[in-house]
Amino acid sequence: MVHGGGNAIERRTAYAERWPRRGNVSAIGAAVTVTSNNPRWISVETNRNALIVGASSGIGWELARVLHVRGYRCCVAARRLGRLRTLQQALGGQTLARELDINDAGGAMQVCEALIDEMGGLDLVVIASGVGDINPALSWSTEALCIQTNVTGFAAVANVAIRHFENSGRGHLVGISSIAALRGSKSAPAYNASKAFMSNYLEGLRQRVSRFGDAIAVTDVRPGFVDTAMAKGENQFWVTPADRAASQIADAIEARRAVVYVSRRWRLIAWLLKFVPEATYRRL
């Protein structure tokens, strides 16, 4: 591995492997000439950069581990920097950790933009951050926080990611939405509505980048119950362990899927939810 070191040939080769559309590449692995590089982030072991927002616990944490094993150089981001540092140390290598509060949309966008410069570009952005509380009292503070985090914060990071991918002509945006996106909820109206926003927004972005063909992908991940701090309430079923959910999400990323249910059997629930008539659903 070359990490901010190695000779010039190694550095150029590594850069060409990472950015095969950039520079003057004669053959992957051969000595090549490139016009620019960022030696701090060169590695011959990994060639893809990923940002995972919401990686301090749960699905994002496990996904960072899986993506690291599958060859991504990861930057893990969230508010709890101490937990991110623990993950960073566990992953080792060139893993980065960044404190980021998605509720400060402007600040979060700046952190992402600075990271893009520092890493010399991103190939994958996963937005796994989110809040969700059951809110039978319809407390406005709970509703407002959910909308701020899952709608405004999510859209802000997605905006930075898509503009970056369009500028570089390639990339992959992944949003962790939910099966909850499909219908409203009397016990958590803001949560389900925020997930509907996420799924709809991701569909709009996918339509927007379709002119890039397969070079830019947008994936909407819709988990059912996953065994994390987020999974609240009684009567849970088909609860997927977080590491298994992460592994299925990583498979969907590699397959560049548009929409994926996690675990797969939740497709059946999705199908049922879509077909329950409004009058029946209201009484549930």
Ligand X SMILES: NC(=O)c1ccc[n+]([C@@H]2O[C@H](COP(=O)([O-])OP(=O)(O)OC[C@H]3O[C@@H](n4cnc5c(N)ncnc54)[C@H](OP(=O)(O)O)[C@@H]3O)[C@@H](O)[C@H]2O)c1
Report the C-alpha gap between 260 and 251 in whole angstroms.
10
Please say if 191 is a catalytic residue: yes
- Binding map of ligand X across residues 135-154, x = CB under 6 A, - = no contact: --------------x-----
Sign of the dihedral through C-alpha 203, 62, 76, 44: negative
- Binding map of ligand X across residues 93-122, x = CB under 6 A, - = no contact: -------xxxx-------------------
178 binds ligand X (CB under 6 A): yes
> Closer CB to ligand X, residue 80 or residue 264?
80
56 binds ligand X (CB under 6 A): yes
Sign of the dihedral through C-alpha 24, 26, 28, 31: negative
In the chain, the N- to C-terminal Cα span, in Å, equals 57
**243 with 279: CB under 8 angstroms?**
no
Q: According to CB under 6 A, which residues from 157 to 176 bind ligand X?
A: 176
> Closer CB to ligand X, residue 21 or residue 80?
80
Give the count of beta carbons closer than 10 Å to the beta carbon of residue 281: 11
Among 111, 119, 131, 209, binds ligand X (CB under 6 A): 131
> Closer CB to ligand X, residue 3 or residue 232?
232
Of 191, 201, 261, 281, the active-site residue reads 191
Closest C-alpha among 171, 216, 224, 218 to residue 195: 224
Instruction: Pick the piece of the chain touching ligand X (CB under 6 A) from 1-9, 26-34, 65-73, 229-237.
Output: 229-237
Instruction: Pick the piece of the chain touching ligand X (CB under 6 A) from 19-27, 86-94, 161-169, 228-236.
Output: 228-236
Closest C-alpha among 101, 107, 103 to residue 81: 101
Helix/strand/coil for 207: helix
Q: Please name every residue paired with 174 in a beta bridge, in sequence order, or none if there are none.
A: 126, 219
> Closer CB to ligand X, residue 3 or residue 79?
79
Eight-state DSSP code of residue 160: H
Q: Which residues of 80-100 are buried (b: 16+ CB within 10 A; e: fewer)?
A: ebebbeebbeebeebbbbbeb
**Side chain identity at residue 124, one-letter code:** L
Among 54, 120, 121, 171, binds ligand X (CB under 6 A): 54
87 binds ligand X (CB under 6 A): no
Q: How far is the CB of 19 from ligand X (least distance, A)?
A: 29
Q: So which residues are the catalytic ones?
A: 191
Q: In the complex, which residues of this chain contact ligand X (CB under 6 A)?
A: 54-60, 78-80, 100-103, 128-132, 149, 176, 178, 223, 225-226, 228-231
